[in-house]
Amino acid sequence: MTVVARPAPGFTFRNWTEGVNIVSSNAIYAFTIAANRTLTANYTAIPYTVSVSSNPLLGGSTTGGGVFNSGSTVTVTAIPNVGFTFTNWTEGVNIVSSSAIYQFTLAGNRTLVANYTAIPYTVAVSSLPVLGGTTTGGGIFNSGAPVTVHAVPNPGFTFTNWTEGINIVSTDANYLFTISGNRTLVANYNAIPFTVAVSSNPLIGGITGGGGIFNSGTLVTVTAVPNVGYAFTNWTEGLLVVSTNANYQFAISGNRILVANYAPNTFTIGVSSNPLNGGTTSGGEPLTQVLQQL
């Protein structure tokens, strides 16, 4: 008689036994029969490896990989990290499951990849005060992406810090972070204090007001009030005429030394004789000249 043992896929033939006795290690067992026989073909399951990984690596974790006998029921699990969602399991170029918990009967080595998709988040940036400076770097970014926001103070301001709500998140004007959620960032600036000095030319020409110390960007108004006998001419700074308005308003962005210039009023004195043949008159000239002579 000849008996044949044919292993199923995932198994190898081990031996033939009869009771506790091994009678052959050949899958094709030939013998001469002389009595009843009860033969058992023994098979050994082939061990297979299940490898699991994440794509991208920071997208999440995977469990369930290892070495298992052929025919085993294997369950692999994909757990997305914060900021990611599970997409599918792939093997090579093939999608094998869209369930994060994938169960299968093992019939060979498996190399499985859990694929994750990053959640897009928004980074909003702004300046406080608005005229304190500019901000860049905001936008929409995938979770896990490195993001750098930049704060550039305007003239007359210095950068202080980045805040989110009531929390200070950085004192670096170029703030680098890995995004894991929506961010609303405010670049805070401090105004530099500047001095406005005002004076009159000539001193007796009039009075000036409005000078002092002001934060950068403040609207400042300086005033020139001429004394009797004088008229306001203009405001100068150094050799430059900056305004011909007695009430000069400007946004301060640096120290200012302003001079209110006045000019004396001129008057005409007309003289005549009555009757014309009664005599002659002289001395008619601008009043300022008369005052200077006196």
How do residues 120-146 score in pLDDT, each as one tens digit? 999 999 999 998 999 999 999 998 889
Q: For residue range 105-127, what is the model confidence (pLDDT) as tens digits?
A: 998 999 999 999 999 999 999 99
- pLDDT at position 284 over 90: no
Q: What is the dihedral of CA 91, 97, 98, 100, to 10 degrees?
A: -90
Contact between 188 and 128 (Cβ < 8 Å): yes
**Global model pTM greater than 0.75:** no
Rounded to whole angstroms, the Cα distance separating 108 from 9 reads 9
Amino acid at 12: T
Rounded to whole angstroms, the Cα distance separating 92 from 128 reads 52
- pLDDT computed for residue 282 by the predictor: 79
- Residue in this structure with the two tokens 């704060």, named with its chain if needed: 151
- pLDDT computed for residue 291 by the predictor: 46
Extents of the domains making up the chain: 2-45, 48-118, 121-191, 197-294
Rounded to whole angstroms, the Cα distance separating 38 from 3 reads 11
Q: Where residue 285 falls among pLDDT bands split at 50, 70, 90?
A: low
Residue 82 carries which DSSP code? T
